[in-house]
Amino acid sequence: MGNYDGFKFDQTELIDKVTSLSPSNVTASTPLPFHCVLVSNTSKEIDKEYLKRAGMLLYIAQGTKPNISYEVNFLARYFMGPDNSHWEALENLISYLHKTSTFGIQISHTKEKPSLDCFVDSNWGGEGNRSTHGYLLMHGKNPIMCKFKRQETIVASVAQAVYMALSFAAKEELWLFNMFQPFLNIPCP
């Protein structure tokens, strides 16, 4: 949807389709419950319905809802033999999406001096003692890249996890800076 201030991208129709597959009376204000701990099931049987819903959520996350990328990828790891706790977490995420279905990505024109900003965060010792980091790159007020990734190395402290996250984010920011600088005249820090 566009107007003179910019554009808003959302996927309300697809989100409505996903929520219609999961009629639930759960009302969630967060994508996952606080301290959500899920355990892998020993079953090797693929649950096609769980996989279908997780796949639809992955598509939504890639398109206009980067704020749920971590949660969707976390839940997608359990497509083989999900139990009730996995389904409850998936239903919680779908309920959150329903509640925030009109939220999307806003792209707007800015008269401010152009800048390339990066926001980084990391946890420490997540599932399997591997930290997960995420970063968001913004041009002015516009998001241009959002990424979440499980770190491949087990680190000894939260400082090391954040340092690794900063390293990954800095590489992406430098690449984007070199690409955009010639035609956007972004000042070099």
As assigned by CATH, the class of the 111-182 domain is alpha beta
Round to whole Å and give the CA distance between 115 and 176.
Answer: 12
pTM: 0.78
CA 51: distance to chain centroid?
18
State the span(s) of the chain assigned CATH 3.10.20. Answer: 111-182
CA 32: distance to chain centroid?
12
pLDDT of residue 182: 78
Q: Splitting the chain (189 residues) into consecutive groups of 10 residues, what average pLDDT does each group show?
A: 72 90 77 80 82 92 89 87 88 91 86 82 78 87 87 86 91 87 69
